[in-house]
């Protein structure tokens, strides 16, 4: 038997979530069985804990798009019992049962061994949000980002991706300008290393000019929409924006002018289907570059029983930093 948070819909289509004891025969197919120690909460998880948001196809369902734990059994030679592993993405927790369970089974191709010194708990303090932030930072650096070029903008800075991006960039010597619509998060963001706080209202207004003063040396954008369109016109010559989210909308009401007159690069960051070599590189850099004390400051501990309420809160922008779910609690 194993314990899991199961979401089911009633006859009227209303979702209900509860913790249940389940038989191991219900585990999904896969090469590797993992004893899950920690999971986390992402915006996708909030959707999957409720209506499914179009991500979940069948019920009953076990959400949890991330997990970290220890291999129990493996039919793949790349993994052995006792290996500490992490999984993010691959539609796990969406179309397949996910990490909100004390045990799961997955394909070996989806797992990454944790680097030395990174615990399963720390891996979930990072989670998909932190992995996405690291992929974004790697992409910006690969496209020439240098500390001496000036300030790097992080939008949605108090969220999961933004928090880790702020801490990473500051630790690597960049001046971070953190955008937030919640003034009460200023102290939190400065503790993570933000050198400047930019009120969201300063960038939320749409302007007709396709180009403004060259201000930012790079950007990790979790908002999209009109704010991203505005930011593209404020980038310095030849620099890049890493687009990681769409909290402000999926439409991009922009012109091509920043691309053809300033040579600005718009880099799309996907973490769900990212190839394993990129994931290994990112987790190695996280272990080396992310200040663990600051990571801990982002963490809000939780149990399976807490998740339905937290899932509703994250959909309303009411969760700061990173939620770490202890599966032993």
pLDDT at 208: 83
pTM over 0.85: yes
Q: CA separation (Å) from 222 to 13, 122, 184, 193, 306?
A: 31, 22, 19, 18, 26
pLDDT at 77: 97
- For 82, left (φ over 0), alpha (ψ -120 to 50), or beta? left
CB 250, CB 228: distance < 8 Å: no
SS3 326: strand
For 83-98, b/e burial (b = at least 16 CB within 10 A) is: bbbbbbbbebbbebbb
pLDDT 10s digit of each residue in the chain, 329 long?
Answer: 999 999 998 888 888 999 999 999 999 999 999 999 999 999 899 999 988 788 999 999 999 999 999 999 999 999 999 999 999 999 999 999 999 999 999 999 999 999 999 999 999 999 999 999 999 999 999 999 999 999 999 999 998 899 999 999 999 999 999 999 999 999 999 999 999 999 999 998 878 899 999 999 999 999 999 999 999 999 999 999 999 999 889 999 999 999 999 999 999 999 999 999 999 999 999 999 999 888 888 899 999 999 999 999 998 888 888 999 999 98
Domains of the chain: 2-113+298-326 (3.90.180.10), 128-268 (3.40.50.720)
241 DSSP β-pair partners = 219, 266
Query: Nearest to residue 307, comparing CAs of 35, 93, 32, 158?
Result: 93
């Amino acid at each position: 038997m194993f314990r899991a948070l199961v979401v089911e819909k009633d006859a009227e289509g209303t979702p209900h979530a509860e913790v249940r004891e389940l038989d191991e025969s219900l585990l999904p197919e896969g090469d590797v069985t993992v004893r899950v120690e920690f999971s986390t909460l992402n915006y996708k998880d909030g959707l999957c804990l409720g209506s499914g948001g179009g991500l979940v196809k069948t019920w009953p369902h076990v959400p949890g798009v991330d997990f970290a734990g220890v291999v129990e059994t493996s039919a793949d030679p790349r993994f052995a019992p006792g290996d500490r592993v992490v999984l993010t993405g691959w539609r796990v927790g969406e179309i397949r049962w996910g990490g909100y369970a004390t045990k799961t089974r997955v394909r070996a191709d989806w797992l990454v061994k944790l680097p030395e010194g990174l615990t399963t708990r720390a891996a979930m303090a990072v989670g998909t949000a932190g992995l996405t932030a690291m992929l974004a930072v790697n992409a910006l650096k690969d496209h020439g980002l240098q500390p001496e070029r000036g300030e790097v903008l992080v939008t949605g800075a108090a969220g999961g991706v933004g928090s880790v991006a702020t801490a990473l960039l500051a630790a690597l010597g960049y001046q971070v300008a953190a955008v937030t619509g919640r003034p009460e998060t200023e102290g939190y963001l400065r503790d993570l290393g933000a050198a400047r706080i930019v009120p969201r209202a300063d960038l939320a207004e749409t302007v007709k000019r396709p180009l403004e003063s060259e201000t930012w040396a790079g950007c990790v954008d979790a908002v999209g929409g009109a704010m991203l369109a505005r930011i593209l016109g404020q980038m310095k010559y030849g620099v890049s924006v890493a687009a990681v989210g769409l909290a402000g909308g999926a439409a991009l009401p922009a012109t091509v002018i920043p691309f053809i007159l300033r040579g600005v690069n718009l880099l799309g960051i996907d973490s769900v289907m990212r190839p394993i070599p990129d994931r290994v590189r990112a987790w190695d850099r996280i272990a080396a570059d992310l200040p663990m004390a600051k990571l801990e400051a982002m963490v809000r501990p939780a149990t399976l029983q807490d998740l339905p309420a937290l899932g509703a809160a994250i959909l309303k922008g009411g969760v700061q930093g990173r939620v770490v779910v202890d599966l032993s609690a």
